[in-house]
Structure 1
Amino acid sequence: MEVATRIKKLPPYLFAQIEQKIAEEKQKGREILDLGIGDPDLPTPSFIIEKLCEEAQKPQNHRYPSYRGLYRFREAVAEWYLRRFGVKLDPEREVVSLIGSKEGIAHFAWCVVDPGDIVLASDPGYPVYKIGTMLAGGIPLELPLLPENDFLPDFSRFPQEVLEKTRLIFINYPNNPTSQVASLDFFKEVVELARRYNFIIAHDLAYSEISFDGYRAPSILEVEGAREVAIEFHSLSKTFNMTGWRIGFAVGNAKLVEALGRIKTNVDSGIFNAIQWAGVEALARTEEVLKWLLPVYQKRRDLVVSALSRVGIEVKPPRATFYVWIPVPSGFDSLGFANFLLDKAGVVVTPGTGFGRYGEGFVRVSLTTPDAVLERAMSRIEEALNQ
């Protein structure tokens, strides 16, 4: 029995492979410290859980939810965007709920990409940008994020005829995996290009609230004209430690939002209403959460950067996300260094090539592990490298 060609073309999902490797090592009796996957170890705030429990008791919330999302949740998203970015959204036409932003990003290519269309996907980048494109029959081209350009794309490297044939680009700032941030001037440049060449921008803003040293990430929708060409994806997973809850949203161009909503009416039945009510509570109290959340990640960031400095690996402290993008020492490639740390230190990091070929020369460390575990992991890494 054969599966479809599109499935044969899909690479194994990076983090599923990492989980399998960890399981194999643990079966050998080794203690493995996992700095690979960006899954917050901190608990979901209690007031969000309490709201979920309250709403779960109501029989009306046990029925099918709205396909586009509970109106009050979409309204809460619009209220948050206005407070946070000064961007006014119509919750009826410009907001759609998602079963996590990953689901929305994967499905979005189906909305706008026909077989053979060119899609520029950030590389290194979240693997789903390319995978969603492939499933839609599009042709993903790498949008290189290089250290010499501060991990921002250089569109001048693409011939005009490629840009003219481009249907969609995926960008993501603050960026996973590089932790790079982008200015409004950068977004203005991308919006100008999109309007000139008639392509669509999908901006992944999942890490906007995880930022340090006074930095606050902008939304692409703050740029004049962005709403004509852009859709922006966000998630409650990172800010509120809700990765398992599967709730996110997309906002922006009404036609694109409607198309994504139309896909969703045909492939899923929406998010449990009690979770959406909990999301309403979360968005209303974002600043309350960030006051205790961000100092935890900043302390962990500083711990990792200091430990790396002691073994001669200099890393500029990232201003956003809960990742540190680390250049590998001389004599290693990305996979080789990740395997070295697993074998010699019992520490899992993510090889940069798992995010695309332009991730070569780097590994990613996640800060989503308890302080004591992170300290022990960095101590093991120092010891392995000193030996």
Structure 2
Amino acid sequence: MRSETDVPFEDTPFKVPVSDRVNRLPPYLFGKINKLKYEKRVAGIDVIDLGMGNPTDPPDPLVIEKMNETLKDPRNHRYSVSNGIANLRKEVVKRYWKKYGVRLEPDEEVIACIGSKEGFSHMCLALMGPGDTAIVPSPTFPIHEYAVMLASGNVISIDVRDPDKFLRNVAYTCEHLYPKPKVVIANFPHNPSSTVIEQDFYVELVRLAKKYQFLVISDFAYADICFDGYKAPSFLSTPGAIDVGVEFTTMSKGYSMAGWRIGFCCGNAEMVRALATIKGYYDYGIFQPVQIAAIVAMRECDEAVENVARIYQKRRDALCKGLIRLGWEIEIPKAGMFIWAKIPEPWQKMGSIDFAMKLLDEGGVAVSPGRGFGEDGEGYLRLAIVENEQRLKQAVRQIDRCLKSEEQETPAAT
């Protein structure tokens, strides 16, 4: 309540002085598309959503059964340790040895995260500060850039679609920049471009890291989603990698546990310890039933993970074949959950944001504009293969009708 002696302040608007780290963040480029998508759904209009890499399939029934069982135990509803329960970390160690031949120490070289995105962001906070620089692959999955910025670091973006050229540019940057970059971020299979590499890429990256004294953060989120016999190599399986970096994995993709929010950071003990320190202040760890269910998933569900990859390969084929039939320029990916498609002529001049808005507004298909992944993404779209084959084929038909209708409306040149 205001007394009669209070001075009125109505003419002086109150300003909230947010931090510089928030002010440094650019406008959210997907905002317009998400707003229109929401409006259409509220209006009861069906939208085929290929915009977000959000798995639509549930986990294996064994995982759900274990979750239900553990929910009944009162002990599982307490706070959990922030680095993950011991048996979960031991299971991660077993999986790395079985799949990649990598030996890890569960107490010092493994930590559980609330999804790999949370772990990655807090690792940047643990490693970086004002004046520090990170090399980030471009086109850029937004958190790779924004996590560095939120940690008050600087970003140098290097095009990653030619991996050998990327390595040469990393070396050139380290030779000519002072102070040298502190962190190099690797992300293969790459989001959004689906670029893949072989093990020799990491051999050279480790060599450069030791020569120029930078740290490596490998985002290995799409490790389990590989096609046509391709197997994504682990950074940590490279000799000397554990001396210079860590790798983030997740159960979101291959295990279809996206909403469960569970991932892992493995590798260099000092980097893992730094992340554990940050997490010790920020959170109480992952809900324990989720961790126990994740143990069962890693122990019992190898076949389910392989089946998920086969499902995504069929979806990839359905969408790629359909778009190629329409005349789109598509490089068929060997891994990941996305198609990186060049916008066809004559719509290139529209720009990726306006073109994506057109496909959503007139075609009922939501996609991610390449510009949302940085300047190197302009002229492209990212399409997530998260819908079933029939929905993807329907999306192709709707895109075809949308673009044909404009061609018919455009008068012929005279």
Q: Report TM bin, short chain.
A: over 0.9
Aligned residues: 386
Q: 2:384 aligned with 1:366, yes or no?
A: yes
- SS for the counterpart of 1:317 is coil
Letter in 2 for 1:236: M
Q: Please give the alpha-carbon distance, in whole angstroms, between the structure 2 residues aligned to 1:9 and 1:355.
A: 17
Cα deviation per residue 1:9-68 (whole Å; 9 max; x = unaligned)?
223455665433311233455332111000011112111111111112112211111121
Runs of 4+ in 1 over 6 A off after TM superposition: none
Letter in 1 for 2:354: G
Aligned to 1:111: 126
Q: 2:341 aligned with 1:341, yes or no?
A: no
Letter in 1 for 2:323: L
Task: Give how far 1:71 is off.
Answer: 0.5
> Residues 26 and 64 from structure 1, CA distance in 2 versus in 1: closer, same or farther, beyond 3 angstroms?
closer
Q: Please give the alpha-carbon distance, in whole angstroms, between the structure 2 residues aligned to 1:13 and 1:195.
A: 36
Q: 2:73 aligned with 1:55, yes or no?
A: no
Aligned to 2:411: none
Q: Please give the alpha-carbon distance, in whole angstroms, between the structure 2 residues aligned to 1:347 and 1:375.
A: 11
- SS for the counterpart of 1:165 is coil
Q: Please give the alpha-carbon distance, in whole angstroms, between the structure 1 residues aligned to 2:71 and 2:285.
A: 16
**2:93–2:105: 8 Å Cα contact kept in structure 1?**
yes
Q: Please give the alpha-carbon distance, in whole angstroms, between the structure 2 residues aligned to 1:286 and 1:152.
A: 36
Q: 2:67 aligned with 1:89, yes or no?
A: no
Superposed counterparts of 1:168-247, under 5 Å: 168-247=183-262
Cα deviation per residue 1:153-210 (whole Å; 9 max; x = unaligned)?
5425536132751000111001111111111111111111111110000000010000
Task: Give how far 1:238 is off.
Answer: 0.6
Q: Please give the alpha-carbon distance, in whole angstroms, between the structure 2 residues aligned to 1:98 and 1:120.
A: 23
Q: Please give the alpha-carbon distance, in whole angstroms, between the structure 2 residues aligned to 1:18 and 1:193.
A: 40
> Residues 314 and 163 from structure 1, CA distance in 2 versus in 1: closer, same or farther, beyond 3 angstroms?
farther
With normalisation by structure 2, the TM-score equals 0.89
**1:114–1:136: 8 Å Cα contact kept in structure 2?**
yes
Task: Give how far 1:237 is off.
Answer: 0.5
Of the structure 1 ranges 233-242 and 325-334, higher mean CA displacement relative to structure 2 is found in 325-334
Q: 2:117 aligned with 1:102, yes or no?
A: yes
Superposed counterparts of 1:39-78, under 5 Å: 39-78=54-93
Q: Structure 1: 5+ residue runs without aligned partners?
A: none
- SS for the counterpart of 1:158 is helix
Task: Give how far 1:140 is off.
Answer: 1.1
Task: Give how far 1:8 is off.
Answer: 2.0
Task: Give how far 1:232 is off.
Answer: 0.3
Q: 2:372 aligned with 1:354, yes or no?
A: yes
Find the partner of 2:293 among 272, 278, 286.
278
Q: Please give the alpha-carbon distance, in whole angstroms, between the structure 2 residues aligned to 1:22 and 1:322.
A: 21
Q: Structure 2: 5+ residue runs without aligned partners?
A: 1-15, 406-414
- SS for the counterpart of 1:384 is helix
Letter in 2 for 1:351: P
Please provide the CA RMSD for this pair. Answer: 1.8
**2:246–2:271: 8 Å Cα contact kept in structure 1?**
yes
**1:239–1:290: 8 Å Cα contact kept in structure 2?**
yes
Q: Please give the alpha-carbon distance, in whole angstroms, between the structure 1 residues aligned to 2:167 and 2:248.
A: 19
